[in-house]
Amino acid sequence: MGRDVEQGAFSREDRVRYRQKVRRCLDVFALMLDDFGFDADRPMTGLEIELNLIDAAAEPAMRNDQILADIADPLFQTELGQFNLELNASPRLIEGSGFADYEQDLRSSLSRADERAAKSDATIMMVGILPTLTERHLVADNLSTNERYRVLNDQIVGARGEDIELDINGVERLRTHTDSIAPEAACTSLQFHLQVAPDSFADYWNASQAIAGVQVAIGANSPFLYGRQLWAETRIALFQQATDTRPDELKAQGVRPRVWFGERWITSIFDLFEENVRYFPPLLPICEEEDPVEVLHAGGVPQLGELRLHNGTVYRWNRPVYDIMNDRPHLRVENRVLPAGPTVVDMLANAAFYFGLARGLAESDRPIWSQLTFSSAEENFHAAARRGIEAVLHWPRLGDVPVTTLVLDTLLPVAAEGLDRFGVAPAERDRLLGVIEGRCRTGRNGAVWQTETVWTAERNRGLDREAALHHMVQRYAELQRGNEPVHTWPVD
């Protein structure tokens, strides 16, 4: 939900009108899927990276307004917390040297932004959860000043009607309460966008769901929150709990959470939009002037603003996207499962693995979703979030298998074939998939490096947990600038 919101109080009439308008948009979307010309000739890709700001002491720096003003680049935007930024890379094809172009542009943008941030005594850091965050940082007063975040906070907390409970049991346990959605700001992610044709959307979404657990296990980078070591990818549990609009009674009734893995394989993108409308009450009932039926009958391209806004407040880990560019509508899978960082090359390796594997499986003669139950895919996802690169996942014909073995023996060749179909240069394909292979062979990803560095600081340097976390973050920030893959980072 990246749009600005000015209205904060909604009447009953607003909600009724919005619900009717959303359903009208859904009907128009169904008609468009039947016979409209969606842009899918040459599938574009996109990347979004959510960033943290830290000061010289490795504490979160609440300065995004000032830093964004200094950066003065539309590719950088606010995010939920005042210590957050978001970088939206320009969409592009990945054929040929597309990944190398991504890398050059991302490193250049981040370098310029870091120079501007330094004027405010801040540094940009890419990590799933900033390890030095504490409860005193994640409060409503530290939400970004953009009005849409205050409105969203009020609507989520109001829908729940009570404080939000955080209860994450990992290596250690965290139990606490919050009166705002501010803890969600700790969840800084890496998001991939893949443009697909309407008739192949279901295949790509199903493939993305099937591999979500593998992605999380290999890319985990969020082991610490509030000074405690929790899951390898704690961000998964934190995001779900910090935005949960359901009190315990509604959970007991089986009401679906707004951060949602889903519950079934699909046959059309329409299934996902229809579920969103059917299961989730509106959080932001803001109506546009457009009548989508009139626009469609006049030969135009409907914006479907209400449907898109509603879709943006249902946080699927693989989200369907309807968008318009150059007066042509298109559809995208937005893959949201991964954390930011540790380096640009690590993130592009994750991108190559996802894009290649999604295409390889989506275009397979025997679909993976015809062999893997949806519940197994969801169990894999949560097992991967807990255990990271040490996870054991279930896979067809293999049974329960260590994720590193699954990737090395089965999935890397599929990803390589998928990248070949995209026309990715062989040297780029091998370089980036080689990073994934290196993680699997060493058993080291961002979460492993973070935990090992903290343990080493506690045992060898005699530091307490707080000091060890600050030491680790400072070391992480130094190594991040070198852009060497995290599995090669020293622990010292």
Beta strands in 55-188 (DSSP E): 76-78, 84-88, 123-125, 164-169, 173-178
Report whether pLDDT(45) > 80: yes
Q: Which two tokens stand for residue 113?
A: 């932004």
What are 22-31's pLDDT values in tens digits? 999 999 999 9
pLDDT confidence of residue 12: 86
The closest of 29, 16, 15, 488 to 270, measured between CA atoms, is 29
Q: Is the pLDDT of residue 461 over 60?
A: yes
Answer whether residue 9 is part of any domain: no
Provide the CATH number for the domain around residue 336: 3.30.590.20
Q: How far apart are CA 330 and CA 324, in angstroms?
A: 6
pLDDT (0 to 100) of residue 66 = 96
Residue 185 lies in a domain: yes
Instruction: Please check the confidence at residue 420 and state whether its pLDDT lies above 70.
Output: yes
Q: What pLDDT was estimated at residue 174?
A: 97
Q: Is residue 470 situated within a structural domain?
A: yes
Q: How far apart are the first and last CA of the chain?
A: 40
Assigned domain for 5 exists: no
Report CA-CA distances (Å) from 182 to 80, 171, 315: 8, 24, 16
Output the pLDDT for position 158: 87
Can you tell me the mean pLDDT for 360-372?
A: 96
pLDDT band at 19 (very low <50, low <70, confident <90, very high): very high
> How confident is the prediction for the chain on average, in pLDDT?
95
> Does pLDDT of 193 surpass 70?
yes
Number of domains in the chain: 1
Residue 3: is its pLDDT beyond 80?
no
Q: Using the predicted structure, report yes or no on whether residue 467 has a pLDDT greater than 50.
A: yes
Q: Quote the distance between the C-alpha of residue 344 and its chain's center.
A: 16
- pLDDT exceeds cutoff 90 at 160: no
Domain boundaries, position 413: 36-261+317-488
Q: Is residue 483 part of a domain?
A: yes
Look at 106-110, 157-161, 396-400, 436-440 and tell me which has the smallest mean pLDDT.
157-161
The predicted pLDDT at position 2 comes to 46
Q: Judge whether residue 422 has pLDDT over 50.
A: yes
CA distance 148 to 17: 20
Whole-model pTM: value is: 0.96
